[in-house]
Structure 1
Amino acid sequence: MTELVATTPGLYPLPDDAKVELSDLKGHQKSDLVSGDETGELADAYDRVRAELVETQVEAGLDLITEGQGRWDDMLAHPLAVHEGVETRGIVRYYDNNNFYREPVVTEDLTPSGDVAAELAAASELTDSLQAVLPGPYTLADLATDEHYGDDLLEAVGEFLAGEVAEFPDHETLFLLEPSLVENAPDDGTDERASEALDAVAAATDAEVVVHPFYGALEEKTYAHLMDADVDAIGFDLVSDHEQNVYNVQEYGTKGSVALGVVDGQNTLVEEPATVRERFDWFTEQVPAQSFERAYLTSNTELFYLPVNKAEAKAETLATAADLEEVEA
């Protein structure tokens, strides 16, 4: 039997009332906040957002609960955008959509900041089923501009993220989000370095590590190198490109656990739980030789693209789908 685990990649949309409150409060503090600069009313507001996002996931019935990443205005660039060794400059398009982030320019050594660890420590007071979320090293390096490390930026980012993870409180899983592996596939040599950077991050935790690419499927060579990484599960975006993702598994195998993007994180249409289970069943039927000990049922992308009520509904769909009658793998 395959254990089905309902979760999400985090980065939830801000509650509507919080958007107004945070916008007003930020107007009274400097706009380019670095780690630890949120104080007073602003810090209290983020605490309330975190509590609401955690409560939303618990009420939806998810098995693993993320911190929600309400502070991550720069999406996956956040860990760099708030670092004191990084300058934030112009506004850059976030992949091929209408979201934007501040360009993080690395100008000094990337020493561990404890920023995400502090968020998770606060979230750990609200749930016993904590899932940590970070950008993967290749994606974070891809979103950055370097004026310090030269050809060693990818390795430096991997070491930086490993240092961040080493400060995390106890967590069940670590989702490393790697859309850039799809959107800006690494060239020869860099794909191997990307896998080695993932190894460095994974080695910093005892939790199960899930690498979750999305916005499509990995190129074959990239996937083959990812299979060499010392991680526990690889994610597959079954919404954007189910055929190529299945082909990769058929050709190169996969890990003992998988993460399946079975609801659309960018479309407001809310899937039925039965539809989600059909997508899981279809995947297992295409790869009958595989025996998965665990399958994470998740959205294919982060959820911040969605209205609040749609993100909540999709979380409930995932939880309900995972609780339907058991399925043979």
Structure 2
Amino acid sequence: MDIEAVRTFVAVAETGQFQAAADELGISQQAVSKRIVVLERDLGASLLVRTSRGSRPSLDGQVFLPHAKKVLAALAQAERAVRPGSRPLRVDVLNRRIAPAQAVYRFYRSRPDTALDAVTLSEENAAQAARAVLEGSLDASFRALPADQVPAGIRAERLLDVPLQLLVGPAHPLAGKGQVQPADLVGHRIWIPGIRPGTEWELFYQSLSQDFGLSIDALGPDFGDEALMDALAGSGSLATLVGTDDRYLWPDNYGLRRVPLREPTPLYPHILLTRAEHRNPVLTDLRDYLRASRPQVDDEVWVPAWVSH
């Protein structure tokens, strides 16, 4: 069934005139007549009664009219649902505690009427997230995707570089430092539970370890962030790495310390992945917000060689 013929029938039924319907639809009266003929032939029923004063729905037309209006209303709703800016922008932030989630939350707070849906694809690696963006199940994802692995059709933008900090308990030998260099971490165990093989964060920490001679591991089971905080608080030798915007909570009596890393400052590059031709006003606003609010690092920085500079 031709949806434009259905639209034309509704216009004639409501205006009572072929010419009035033609004017409303921006077509000729002849085109209106042809569409009605085609629709009546497809349905096997006469939908309009022609009179000297115009046209009105026949008995079959009266039965068909409310259904036709529902079809047109459903089509309009479907079009609005996918029109850029109409449906919520679906953004993968990977983990609700880390910098992308905090940045997207601040963006939303600055524009509380924004249609936004933040999701966490924590089980997928960067390549899988990029594929989800290409397939349209995501509008955007924050991932540290190597430059040579960005698939065709994906736009990759470094809009959220996050400086790393050392997180240690009060008994750790570096706990009282105002800042430390990555080289100062040599010989200290850095434990980052939950690093999964084949993920971009595994590749990132491998690169960091190799470039500075660090001992970074994910040995043992991952019992969650609270268990990690417990372990740090009770250890004089254990440390982990967190981003400056990562949101971790612990009891006051744990006395955990965040120690900035400097000379150079390692940056974790959360790269925004979107479809190359994707047009969405909320996505444009998010890009502008990230550019305007990106942290300024007054120091030499380090990022892995595989990240696009």
Give me the TM-score of the superposition, normalised by structure 1: 0.22
Specify the structure having the higher radius of gyration (Cα). Answer: 2
What is the TM-score when the length of structure 2 is the normalising length?
0.23
